[in-house]
Amino acid sequence: MKLLNSEILSNQQYGPGIFKMELFSPYIVRNVMAGQFVNIRCAPNDGTDPLLRRPFSVFDIEERFNVFSVLYMVKGKGTGYMSSLRKGDTVDLAGPMGSGIDLNTGSKDILLIGGGMGIAPLNLIAKMALARGKNVFIMAGFRDSSLLRWERDLVRMEVKYRIFSEDGKWGEKGLVSEYIFEGDRFYKKHEIYVCGPVEMLKIIQEKLGRYQISATALLEEKMACGIGVCMGCVVKIRGKNGSFSYKRVCREGPAFELSEVVFE
């Protein structure tokens, strides 16, 4: 992990209230692993509001051009400031952070289940897995069609996918959690990665448990330091014999065995 100043190559609207920022950084592109994130300072150089950095999953990388991107939704002052930045501006960031996912081992078949902005880390997992000759299938659910542009990225990757939306205006109508078990025997052969709202994770955790299918959850938590010192992003993890421990999303995560996560 390094502290870096990266030049913005583009910062364009990706959907209503959603932006994709592309940054030049040979270091991040060379060192990032699937599932890792960067911590971005969301205030001017002479400002301290907001004081804390914000974590963003690495959405994509372009190795040829030493470019990586993050996907973010404008929610408050920090992301509002980010959306005001333009090509040629620089961003103060730290990364890559978190414990990455090793895609060189494990099953040749991968299932990615995303919900809303939870698609951000799954996009990079898909790209890296495909580059390693793995078979990737994506199932993703959304409230509406705000992230419709992402489908173009999926087509460009030549990955198999199914899209669901609650209003039925994009893909199939319904919740992704209602459809992932149509082929439970099939999915037992897959490595499964899940990222999305907590309520979605709870449902998938409960249903996967019925079939004794394991999955890896990529958790999203608010972080203060991002390096594991403040203990502000800990999650409760179920251990053996009914024991529990607390692990830091920024250091031991963001990837955890879904069945072990205690959602409170």
Helices (H), 68-167: 77-84, 119-131, 150-157
Are 6 and 75 contained in the same domain? yes
Structure tokens at 203: 């449902």
DSSP 139: E
User: What pLDDT, on a 0 to 100 scale, did the predictor assign at position 183?
Assistant: 63
Query: Is the same domain home to 159 and 251?
Result: no
Q: Do 106 and 203 sit in the same domain of this protein? A: yes
In angstroms, rounded to a whole number, what is the distance separating the alpha carbons of residues 228 and 98? 9
Same domain, 163 and 174: yes
Q: Are residues 131 and 146 in the same domain?
A: yes
Do residues 131 and 90 both lie within one domain?
Answer: no
The boundaries of the domain holding residue 113 are 101-217
**Does one domain contain both 226 and 255?**
yes
Is residue 126 domain-shared with residue 89, that is, in the same domain?
no
Q: Which residue has the tokens 């078979």?
A: 135
**CATH code where residue 192 lies:** 3.40.50.80
**148/43 same-domain check:** no
What is the dihedral sign for C-alpha 202, 74, 122, 113? positive
Q: Which pLDDT does position 239 carry in this prediction?
A: 86
Question: Order of strands across the sheet with 261-262?
Answer: 244-248, 234-238, 261-262
112 and 184 part of one domain: yes
75, 131: one domain: no
240 and 183 together in one domain: no
Per the CB < 8 A criterion, the answer to whether 86 and 178 are in contact is no
Task: Please give the Cα distance from 179 to 219 (Å, whole number).
Answer: 22
Which CATH number fits the domain that encloses residue 239?
A: 2.10.240
What confidence score (pLDDT) does residue 220 get?
Answer: 86
pLDDT of residue 164: 96
Query: Residue 231: what pLDDT?
Result: 87
Domains contained in the chain, number: 3
CB 264, CB 236: distance < 8 Å: yes
For the chain, 264 residues long, give each residue's pLDDT as a single digit of tens.
899 999 999 999 999 999 999 999 999 999 999 999 999 999 887 777 788 899 999 999 999 999 999 999 999 999 999 999 999 999 999 999 999 999 998 899 999 999 999 999 999 999 999 999 999 999 999 999 999 999 999 999 999 999 999 999 999 999 998 888 776 667 778 999 999 999 999 999 999 998 889 999 999 888 878 888 888 899 999 988 889 999 999 999 999 999 999 998
What pLDDT sits at residue 185? 66
